[in-house]
Amino acid sequence: MVELLPSILSADFAHLADEVAAAERGGGTVIHVDVMDGHFVPNITLGPPVVRSLRKATSLPLDCHLMIDNPNDYIPAFAEAGANWIGVHYEACPHLHRTIELIQNHGMHPGVVLNPATRVDVLLDILPMLHHVLIMSVNPGFGGQNFIPFSLDKIRRLAEIRQELGLAFRIEVDGGVAHDTIAQVVKAGADLLVAGSAVFSNGSAEQNARELLAVAKIASGEA
């Protein structure tokens, strides 16, 4: 089943609860939270205090994407703040197995994120432990970027591995997911679709979310 994950990076933070509520009415089922530290990626966004406030505003799962160095130092704080899913970058975790166990031990679903230039095969040994794998289809750091076309090959490869190994992890895609790309992403094998600018950019989050999800469901054969 395909799901739409509205990314609050593109929302109006002065009205965050209202924006999230509108995206939920449009069919969003998980809220995607981009955490950036200004070191691992060239931008600074938010941390556990915003997640804690967001937790009060919605009952939807919070998918926290940690684009940060030393994620192990912050995983307990995000768990305490109310995160449900945690995604860490393969490129930022020298001891990835330990990090995945830390996420699990704090009662959250673990995911691993791959930058555009990182091949999916590096995750073969760790895949049975994962709830989701997030394919970055832009270079992380800023919203509103154009989709990188070779990301589709990575999604297809990951879907093949999932089938070959008989695993159930979800395939998440983030970056440039919009009306003109979402069908291709779904047909390649993704089922968790992160969209920021395409949902929140023009103040019509409910309508935008509904339209994106409709296109995705047609592409997946669910509609």
Q: How many CB atoms lie within 10 A of CB 20?
A: 22
For residues 57 and 29, give the distance between their C-alpha atoms in angstroms, rounded to a whole number: 14
Closest to 141 (Cα-Cα) out of 63, 11, 44: 44
Tokens encoding 153: 């090959």
Query: What residues act catalytically?
Result: 34, 174
The CA distances from residue 83 to 30, 51, 88, 129, in Å, are: 11, 7, 13, 18
Length of the chain: 223
